[in-house]
Chain A
Amino acid sequence: MPLSGTFLADLERIVGADGLVRSPEGRLVYECDMHTFYKGAPDAVALPTGADEVVAIVNLCRRERVPIVPRGSGTGLIGGAMAPVGGVMIGTNRMDRILEIDLPNRCATVQPGLINLSLTRAVANSGYFFAPDPSSQMVSSIGGNVATNAGGPHCLKYGITTNHVLGLELVTGAGELVRLGGKTAERPGYDLVGVAVGSEGTFGIVTAATVRLLHVAEAVKTILASFTALEDASEAVSAIIAAGIVPAALEMLDELMIRAINEGTGAGYPKDAAAVLLIELDGPAAEVEAQGERAARICWEHGALEVRVAHDDAERALLWKGRKEAAGAVGRLAPTYLLQDAVVPRSKLPAIMRELIAIGARHRVQIANVFHAGDGNLHPLILYDDRVPDELERAKAANEELLLACIAMGGTVTGEHGVGLDKAKNLPFQYADADLNFMYRLRRAFDPGGIMNPGKLLPSHPACGEGFRPARPRVPEGAWI
């Protein structure tokens, strides 16, 4: 749907010539996020510098019924920040200022385009940090983190983005600038901040966020334990949690992943290991010391091959090195992969790993695993070579079967990446019509015109808006009439 000359001129009046990307090659940069499967370039990209410009753009698009796709740094993994039906993309990169740091009240207010790690860097000298730490934190924006309710390795202890957002300034799909929540810990009325976080740009565009800052822990201890069997590692995870220990992070890598990492990064994980556990504890020194010893003992009791403890920051970085470079290292095994983000109850880890191996064998695809074991959030990488006929099809089939297996075990289709275009079709695995219907109507309250990020987060439905109308319960008939 090409945009009219008048529309583009109006858009340029709002954001200025340097804030508008119109050329085909310029727009191509914005055709996908990190899930490069899904491509769709916007018809124009607007780069506003303030909330007033965002309001003007949304109202222009609303009037002309042009779809809007918000985008932060484009590091999402779900086909979220791309334009399947064209329209205007609103990039928040030029809104990247820290508006206020309020240490006595342990919060900061930032613009959406601010890079996640920049906030932590700004407050690190005072002993504070911003807790959500997606692997992309060096490049991903806080607006994007809010939109996808991003997680990260350390959310086992600290929670995901939603647990750290106090307030939002949001331009809704109706073109209204609203301030939701704020610095105080609570306020009367519905928790609009709570539902807006993770709404993936379907409610509107965040133009500022007030987020919590946490005090840096006194001590950190990182332990790497390797095992000859995946089951042993999985059981060690359960035993650590059962011992009442809540590590800051509890990550697992499987055999295939260990091999790729060893070959690719030289992280030096034990060669014979079928599983590696990365355990990080933080908190008061005495607690970290005691729980670290207990966690190490649990690993030994579960047949660990080796338990390494980092003694300083350099050693810590080395233990983490392999984990952080895992996705890149997989490139040595196959040209490309499908990345899954499903969750199972953590007690089901041994069962799902067995199932996963069986699924891989059935569909003749290799699956490498690196995941947040502590909260049961899997990240299987289903490897395929798109030059081999039907390998992608087999990978896709394995992917879907795996999702269904996770749901059957009481899990969920996405733990931290979000739904986007990629998993919208999978939501009916997890939700009944009534549940999806509720979500459709929730969306409509924020975006009555249906212009915000269409096609994302909810499965498309012929009767969109009234989609998935559930059956009503039976009420007694006849008995009393």
Chain B
Amino acid sequence: MTLTRNTAPSRPVHGAEAPKPRAWLYRFDTKRLPYLLIAPFFLFFAVFGLFPIIFNGVVALRTWRLDDPTKDGWAGFANFSKLLTDTDFWNALYNTFGIFVLSTIPQLVLALMIASLLNRRLRGTTFWRIGVLLPYVTPAAASTLLFSVFFARDNGMANWFLSVVGFGQENPIDWRADKWSSWIAIATMVNWKWIGYNALLYLSAMQAIPKDVYEAAAVDGAGPWRQLWQITVPMIQPVVVFTVVLSTIGGLQLFNEPMMFDANPQSASGGSDGQFQTIAQLIYEVGWKNLNLGYAAAMSWALFLIILIIAGLNALLTNRLSGGRR
């Protein structure tokens, strides 16, 4: 098909006829230009994405204080060994895991159930799908301020609900005061924000399941819920593993909700006694309130390792639980 075009009389194609600069231009266009097109991505990513993460390792090995820049120099592993005995760090780690467990498991189970509802033949499909995304587009910083009112000790709606069903009429719960209650409050916010988003991820995988799978696997009198757990979930297992890894990465870096839930957000202390301070918050506090960047960098690395390990473990675990065929 190219033949007809090449023999078109008006078009100079072969070297002899083509003017020199044009040949140069074509060579540049095919050999060099592709690299120029992808260069901005790699350049920006290298400078603002990759470099900071590597340089973070250098900072972690140094004394690096914002309040006293003259105090610098190699610190060896001092920042890391300090971590091991730092009760604030272990407390933050404990809180992060507590909130993570309380928020991830209900989040994904509810998302699966909502996805299975959205997967039925419905009127107004798009309407429902857009509706469940409302929390996803709402800024966490803004919604958390609303949840602060919801979980207020006096006149809060959560306590009002509880008192209606007969709990805590005399002593309303001070949600921020204890670990268990503040964790539940924060986990509620995280669940609220991410259930709809995960439901859409599941829904898109569910729609790719061929219909005859259900006919072939017709279990005796299997109701819709058994169908969901026994057929659908194993079929969408890769996406389930994906969302578990995604929520692990996000959940272990949780920052916005505990930050804004604090009675005084800018203290970054995670409650009067650090009862709901997460690691991401502690990094912020150590780095920009205590002005100890070297130590904050070491914490970031520790968090990075923890995320890697936990995400890997969770992926393995989910693979087993959701009936993966390996």
Are A and B co-members of a single complex? Answer: no
